[in-house]
A and B are shown apart, each in its own frame.
Chain A
Amino acid sequence: MRIERRVALGLWIIGLAICGAVIARTSLSTDMAAFLPRSPSAAQQVLVDQVRNGVVSRLILLGLDGAPPDALTALSRNLGQRLRGDPAFLAVNNGEEAGLSGERDYLWRNRYLMSPGVAADRFTAAGLRKALESDLRLLQSDIGVLVEQSLPADPTGEILTLIDQFAGSARPHSRNGVWMSADDRRAVLLVETRAAGFDIDAQQQDLAAIGDAVAAAKRDISGAAEARLVESGPAVFAVQTRASMQRDATRFSLIATVVVATLLLFAYRSLRALLLGLLPVASGALAGIAAVALGFGFVHGITLGFGVTLIGESVDYAIYLFTQTDPGTSPAATLSRIWPTLRLGMATSIAGFSAMLFSSFTGFAQLGLFSITGLVVALVVTRWVLPALLPRGFAAPSAGFFATPLLLLMARARQLRLPVLLLTLIGAALLLTHRGGFWQEDLAALSPIPAADQALDRALRHDLGAPDVRYLVVLTAPDEQQALQASARISTLLDGLVPQGALSGYDAPDRILPSDAAQRARQAALPPPEILQVRLQEALAGLPFRAEIFAPFLRDAAAARAAPLLTTAALPPALKLQFASMLFERKGEWIAVLSLSGVHDAARIAASIAGLRQPGLALVDLKHDSDQLLRTYQREAVLLALVGSFVILLLLLTSLRSPARVFAIVAPLVASVVVTAALLTVGGRKLSIFNLVGLLLIIAVGSNYALFFERQRREQAHRERSTASLALANLCTDFGFGILSFSGIPVLHDIGITVACGTFLSLIFSAILSTGGAGERRAAAAVDGAPRLGARVGDR
């Protein structure tokens, strides 16, 4: 063994060891946000964080159905009681009072500091008189029994103001005291977990605990045996997505490896050749993962899922080497012969993949880096390491079997050119006339969550009267207190818009914790006890109230004047969490988020907010913004695809220095991209961003086939072996990507089906369009000779 080869082997082993060490320290992420766009603006980023970490992400929506209504309500009560006893759950609301008692007690104790109704004119003699007259009317009414208990301590009705505020506008339908869907077929519960939404391990345990509690509750309740649990919410989606992602990534990698290995075993008829052929792939995959780990700090599960595609693509190099080495010649000779084509093929693939590096989707950027590193390393290992490992006199069978169909096509290339041209024109016409454009405009179609689960989520939210929040008011301030004061100004503004019908309600941080200034103002609005007593006497004159019963009012008002101000630390757990999701610090700025519900007149709200002329304040329409984002990313994807294609074209022009040769290579690629896109949109379907990335990869991968075919034009020797190697390499790529199309995750499915279809077409079109007419006769001759050349190596 020559020194040079020993050095190559040594470097390779050291390299693998380093990659292994890097990977061992890397964390695997399955957060689908990596395949949702990185948000361009700070406000958008806040919203993404909010969705991932805020209180919303901790909510689990539960439904119980499939049993008689009364059995379901009993089951809901039993389940509620069980879950409230589990510290993993902060709040369990099913409509029962038990779900609210802690907060109600807090509101009652702090009513004078919290109620926006506390103002100086309320505690004048006239103000008190007005409140007492209203109380008298309430006592006269049938709901009097509800206010009579609190009247002596709260004649101005602050607790009623607060409870109305916290109860929200939409209340679910209820039966036997627990929440039910309007048709009484499903009992619904809202559970808030202690663990954050992104803590998928903890969420998985929480879901298991809920499942166990339901099973136990069903044993307690007669007639509930048939009841079924349905679950939804961000945490449920995260757990399900992770499970399906892990399942798909492992399953498809395994299937692809087995299929490709079987195919290669069949072609090489040698276990040794098979194992050697997989070495560049394995080295490339290791290096690719290590590069992503170093570049991004984590590796996404989907990136690994696409490792499958690298198997299909990088196994090609070894195939070219093995299959194109004629018996009796050395692999080194083959390598130096095909090296320029291999190198240019790799360069075009890299040009295509590198466009992905600039994608706003972290996941795609990872994928680009992974593929580039993987391909470079696979090619380097094929070039310098494999020859050192091949036994002397090694030669794989020519596998002429694979070449036959292609050689037939090449023999009739002249006649087939017109049909290919026509097919491409028809494809282009279909695309241009596609109804409503061929782009997928619906963001939901990119979501890894199946449509049925999205529908269930909508149904449960509807039952719970908790529709997805669409409008938010976001404001920034230099500190917490100023943010709370600004939030209070918005609250006042919104209070004015509610009776006008612009919206039905809202949640604001200042309602949970008023600013220190607001609390002090309320303390100042309460008169000293002796003055309040005098005013109360004056107000009571002529009313049928017994004066002495209001002692608790005088006592509580006096205590509130001297009470320490409320802080976040004093909030009960559920309110504290809710508050943290509405007001938080980010890079030295405080951000308050008010969520609006039942918005009927967004334009009016936006105009009122703009009228405040406060910097850093905006009404955000999440739907509009996400639609806008999608369009931005579509434009970006188109731009990246165009730039990628342009760079490939430039690369070919500078390397080949012949427009005619470049045309021979580009024509089949354009044809396969157009026909693939047309096939994908058959039946009114739309192209997603993922399909578009797939189209770019067709060019990156397919250019290799075109290059080899174009090379045959000038080099008639080795034609049969060369063609066989291309067919084999193409089949491996088709299987690698094709298997992904069985995944239920849109990103895997869309790219898989696009690339599998496109690379297959590009092989066929290259055979027809890239080979010059000069070789046709010889190709025909090679077809006749194919069976003979296809004999086993061992037979020679």
Chain B
Amino acid sequence: MASLQQVKSASGQFVERKTLRVLNQPLIASGTLLYVAPDQVQKITVSPQRERLALSGDMLTVEGGPDDRTRTMSLASNPEVAAFVEGIRATLAGDLPALERFYTVQFAGGPTSWQIELQPRDERLRKLVQWIRIGGSGDLIRAVNTEQGDGDHSEMSIVEDIHDAH
């Protein structure tokens, strides 16, 4: 966690594979992830459709998308959305207190290969997000896997290309 705190900004390529109970085959998307300390995260999807998700403070903005509209929402008013994204952002920031406010946190592995498992503290939210597992090595994040509990889950692998740490 301490080494993650040193990261000022980072970017990487992601490939996300979503398995949804309403579909009989997985959905695959790819694009770029950007992070600027302490609380800005952007996920720019390039394929199969362009879309930009930006998280800044409490506000989540989704642009582009299938109907080409901009949606803005507050994480505090949409706890179900917050349950998905807050874990990733707090991990990127190396902000353990923020993680522990939302989730029970378990660590496994060592500095070269580690894994954090997050479980929402709120029982209602655990029905939406069973757990989020974030894996990495050193101050790099390699994978984010999310289990939704109703049969939906997603696996995202990340290859970092720019990394600015002090």
Residues of A bordering B, CB below 8 Å: 95-97, 134, 136-146, 148, 151-152, 171, 174-178, 544-546, 549
Contacts and interface: CB of A to CB of B under 8 A. Distances in A.
B66 A177 contact: no
Given A141-B49, A175-B58, A178-B76, A544 B66 contact: no
B51 A142 contact: yes
A95 B76 CA distance: 10
Interface in B19-41: 20-25, 27, 29
Contacts of B128: 145
B66 A137 contact: yes
Contacts of A134: 66-67
Contacts of B72: 171
Interface of B: 18, 20-25, 27, 29, 43, 45, 48-49, 51, 53, 58-59, 62, 65-67, 71-72, 74-77, 80-81, 84, 128, 152
Given A134-B66, A140-B49, A141-B49, A176 B27 contact: no
B53 A152 contact: no
B45 to A, nearest CB: 7
A143 B58 contact: no
Q: For the complex of A and B, list the 5 residue pairs with the smallest distance between their C-beta atoms, beginning with the closest.
A: A177-B76, A137-B66, A177-B77, A142-B53, A174-B74
A141 B52 CA distance: 9
A186 to B, nearest CB: 17
B77 A544 contact: no
A775 B23 CA distance: 111
B105 to A, nearest CB: 22
B76 A148 contact: no
B147 to A, nearest CB: 13
Q: From A140, A148, A545, name the one whose CB has the most chain B CB atoms within 10 angstroms.
A: A140
B25 A140 contact: no
B49 A549 contact: no
A549 B22 contact: yes
Given A139-B18, A148-B152, A178-B76, 17 more contacts: A134-B67, A136-B23, A137-B65, A138-B65, A139-B20, A142-B43, A142-B45, A142-B65, A143-B65, A145-B81, A151-B22, A174-B77, A175-B76, A177-B75, A177-B77, A546-B21, A546-B23
A175 B58 CA distance: 6
B62 A143 contact: yes
A136 B49 CA distance: 11
B65 A141 contact: yes
B24 A546 contact: yes
B31 to A, nearest CB: 10
B20 A95 contact: no
B86 to A, nearest CB: 13
A176 B75 CA distance: 7
Given A141-B49, A545-B23, A546-B24, A177 B74 contact: yes
Contacts of A546: 21-24
Given A142-B62, A148-B152, A174-B77, A137 B23 contact: no
Given A151-B22, A174-B58, A544-B24, A145 B65 contact: no
B74 A141 contact: no
A663 B83 CA distance: 89
Nearest to B65: A141
A139 B43 CA distance: 16
B132 to A, nearest CB: 13
A137 B29 CA distance: 11
Contacts of A145: 80-81, 84, 128
17 contacts: A95-B74, A95-B77, A96-B77, A134-B67, A140-B48, A142-B53, A143-B65, A144-B20, A171-B72, A174-B58, A174-B59, A174-B77, A175-B76, A176-B74, A545-B24, A546-B21, A546-B24
B40 to A, nearest CB: 16
A654 B59 CA distance: 81
Contact of B81 (A139, A146, A175): A146
Contacts of B48: 140
B20 A148 contact: yes
Contacts of A97: 77
Nearest to A164: B69
B84 A152 contact: no
A750 B65 CA distance: 60
A664 to B, nearest CB: 77
B34 to A, nearest CB: 14
Nearest to B23: A544
Contacts of B84: 145
A140 B29 contact: yes
B58 A176 contact: yes
B74 A148 contact: no
Contacts of A142: 43, 45, 51, 53, 62, 65
B49 A137 contact: yes
B74 A139 contact: no
B61 to A, nearest CB: 10
A96 B74 CA distance: 10
B23 A141 contact: no
Contacts of A148: 20, 22, 152
Contacts of B29: 140
Contact of A141 (B24, B62, B76, B81): B62
A498 to B, nearest CB: 13
A278 B30 CA distance: 93
B25 A544 contact: yes
A137 B66 CA distance: 6
B79 to A, nearest CB: 9
A190 to B, nearest CB: 15
A187 to B, nearest CB: 13
Given A544-B24, A549-B21, A141 B77 contact: no
A146 B73 CA distance: 12
A174 B74 CA distance: 7
A126 B18 CA distance: 27
Nearest to B75: A177
A169 B59 CA distance: 18
Contacts of B77: 95-97, 174, 177-178
A156 to B, nearest CB: 14
A97 B48 CA distance: 33
Nearest to A137: B66
Contact of B76 (A143, A146, A171, A176): A176
A131 to B, nearest CB: 12
Contacts of B81: 145-146
A152 B22 contact: yes
Contacts of A144: 18, 20
B62 to A, nearest CB: 5
A546 B20 CA distance: 10
Contacts of B74: 95, 174-177
A515 B66 CA distance: 33
A623 B74 CA distance: 35
Nearest to B57: A175
Given A145-B81, A177-B75, A139 B22 contact: yes
Nearest to A133: B66
A162 to B, nearest CB: 16
B80 A140 contact: no
Contacts of B21: 546, 549
Contacts of A171: 72
Contacts of B65: 137-138, 141-143
Nearest to B80: A145
Most chain B CB neighbours (cut-off 10 Å) among A142, A143, A144, A176: A142
A690 to B, nearest CB: 48
Contacts of B71: 143
Nearest to A99: B77
A474 to B, nearest CB: 32
A152 B20 CA distance: 12
A141 B25 contact: no
A544 B43 CA distance: 25
A96 B78 CA distance: 9
Contacts of A140: 18, 27, 29, 48-49, 66
